[in-house]
Amino acid sequence: MLASGAGTSKAKANEPSNNFQISGLTTGKPKPLKYKSLPGFLSAEQVAPHFSAHYGGALKAYLKLDDQLEDIAKSRTTNSADAYGAMQRTRTAKGNSVLLHEHYFDGMAPESQPPAVSPAGKLRSAIEQRFGSVGNWVNDFSASARAASGWAVLARHPVNGKLYNLVSDAHATGLFWMAEPLIVLDVYEHAYYVDYKNRKSDYINKFMEHIDWQVANTRFGLAGLRNSGVCFGS
pTM of the model: 0.88
Side chain identity at residue 59, one-letter code: L
Q: Which residues pair with 151 in a beta bridge?
A: 168, 186
Whether the pLDDT of residue 227 is over 70: the answer is no
Listed in order, strand segments (DSSP E) in the chain are: 151-156, 163-168, 180-186
Dist CA 187 CA 139 (whole Å): 16
Q: pLDDT-based confidence at 119, cuts 50/70/90? A: confident
**Strands 163-168, 151-156: pairing kind:** antiparallel
More confident residue, 17 or 85: 85
Predicted local confidence at residue 96, as pLDDT: 96
Whether the pLDDT of residue 154 is over 90: the answer is yes
pLDDT digit string (tens) for 166-209? 999 998 888 899 999 999 999 999 999 999 999 999 999 999 99
Share of the chain above pLDDT 90, in %: 76
Question: Domains plus CATH for the chain?
Answer: 121-228 (3.55.40.20)
- Length of the chain, please? 234
Q: Within 10 Å of residue 138's Cβ, how many Cβ atoms?
A: 19
- The answer to which of 58-62, 70-74, 117-121 has the lowest mean pLDDT is 117-121
Dist CA 134 CA 119 (whole Å): 8
* Residues 6+ away with beta carbon under 8 Å from 83: none
